[in-house]
Amino acid sequence: MSGAESFAPTPLMLSNGARARLAALIEEQGNPRLKLRVYVTGGGCSGFQYGFDFADETADDDTLVEFGQVALVVDPLSYQYLVGSTVDYEEGLAGARFLVQNPNATTTCGCGASFMV
């Protein structure tokens, strides 16, 4: 019989591009406490939509996911929809944005801003 392996799931991942952009924004703002808040709200063409904000304060029930000098903050209601997701950053002809690659989404809209589970 083999021994049990230990596994610590990461609720969210942050791509290298998102880490670099977040670090640049923190430097531009001159606020090392700045974190990227990721949240889910009702709405959008698929039922739920992602939102992003910057916060230097966290609530007692927030989940803080740190990646070196940068961090993500997620409220408890949004957390359940984001477990296992990766936050990425892209620049293109339509502009620049943070986005979520969510393996829990069963349907997404064309722009990738809303989803259904």
Q: What is the DSSP string of 8-40?
A: ---SEEE-HHHHHHHHHHHHHHT-TT-EEEEEE
Residue 41, annotated as binding a ligand: no
Give the pLDDT mean for 27-39. Answer: 95
Q: Which tokens sit at 18? A: 């998102």
pTM of the model as a whole: 0.80
Residue 92, annotated as binding a ligand: no
pLDDT in tens, 49-70: 889 999 999 999 999 999 999 9
Q: Spell out the domains of the chain, with CATH numbers in brackets.
A: 13-101 (2.60.300.12)
Residue 109, annotated as binding a ligand: yes
Distance CA 81, CA 76 (A): 10
pLDDT of residue 8: 56
pLDDT in tens, 66-77: 999 999 999 999
